[in-house]
Amino acid sequence: MFNRNIVALVVVVVVASAAASYLVFTPSSGEGIEVVEVTETAPSFHGWMTNNPDIKDTGEVWLELINNAQNTIDIEAYYLNSVSPPMTLDNIYDALINAAENREVKVRILTDGGQIDREMVGELRQYKNINVLPWHGGGVLHSKYMIVDEVVSVGSTNLSPPAMDTRGNGNREINLTLRGEEIAETYTHIFETGWTRAGGESTGAEYSWEENWLIPVADGTGSPQVISSIEAFKKLFDWAESEVYVYEYIYAGAPHELKNAIFGALERGVKVEVLVDKHSEAYWPGALRELARNGAGVSVIDHPRAAHPKLIISDDDWAYIGSSNIHPTWMLEGREVGVLVNSKEMVAVLLEIFVTDWMYSRYLQP
């Protein structure tokens, strides 16, 4: 079960734990954003407790945001699953309907075109102030984020039962919550690059983010101001001086531009540790073993549902959180949304999540 890198990683756990009090990070400089906060879905599996009690559950955060919404809710969702009580997802749908019906909150939901016939889409469309449109761009709309007034939650979490279930049969998910008027307007601009393409009306939101310590990331926007997932991932490997930690649902060994950046970091002596879900090993074992042969540490987590994060940490200060898998279908053809953050405090918390799950993985031989 345990792998050969565990001793080195235990040292990292101690360092990360020392910084765990910074679960809510208030930037010391930079206007336009007030707080950055890590949230998660972290069910126990095989008797292992992976959750950090100091980190809020993403589903609960979403529910709180929607219940307190005053003006607008914009959601980009890969799909809209129907579920039965007592799942958190039911409560989220009820909160959306209540916000739209009783508080006149304007709700816009952009979902993948292949999911538009789902029962839940038809149900939500029955209510006033809720508008659901299908993505009409190329590839799959795979992004997962919501903007509630001046708050953004972005990451790997779908509107699905596994993404919300913390009782033992759900996914591992990681999100960031970003609070601030300018960052919310910037992500609203990103949202509307898809919304208007689907035939919806624009509010005129502009890309207004100027600070370079936090960088919005998105694919399929058509906006020259927004960097792509490949560009963001390459930066993390190109900038790295000592280590990169990757936690991805899928690593397929492509796109080649990104693979070259990974191998370039390995050639420079950068330590690269890659943690993937068993799904990745089942479908792309050759890509994983190629990584291992070139010096990366590769480990597989046999999660009973899915280890679903999309997390990359570069050294002790930069990290990506979002929806993009390392696979050409997702990175080159579809719609993905994430964020790059330059924060030692945030990286310490994210690294603790990575290390916790790494300890319950199995090392993949080259």
- Phi and psi angles of residue 211, each rounded to the nearest 5 degrees, phi first: -75, 135
pLDDT tens-digit readout, 183-242: 999 999 999 999 999 999 999 999 989 877 899 999 999 998 999 999 999 999 999 999
pLDDT tens-digit readout, 181-196: 999 999 999 999 999 9
Nearest Cα to Cα of residue 99 among 133, 134, 123, 64:
64
pLDDT of residue 185: 96
Pairing mode, if any, of strands 337-342 and 214-218?
antiparallel
pTM: 0.92
- Phi and psi angles of residue 240, each rounded to the nearest 5 degrees, phi first: -60, 135
pLDDT tens-digit readout, 95-134: 999 999 999 999 999 999 988 888 999 999 999 999 999 9
Nearest Cα to Cα of residue 347 among 310, 313, 301:
313
Query: What are the structural domains of the chain?
Result: 6-363 (3.30.870.10)
pLDDT of residue 87: 81
pLDDT of residue 205: 96
Chain CA centroid to CA 9, Å = 23
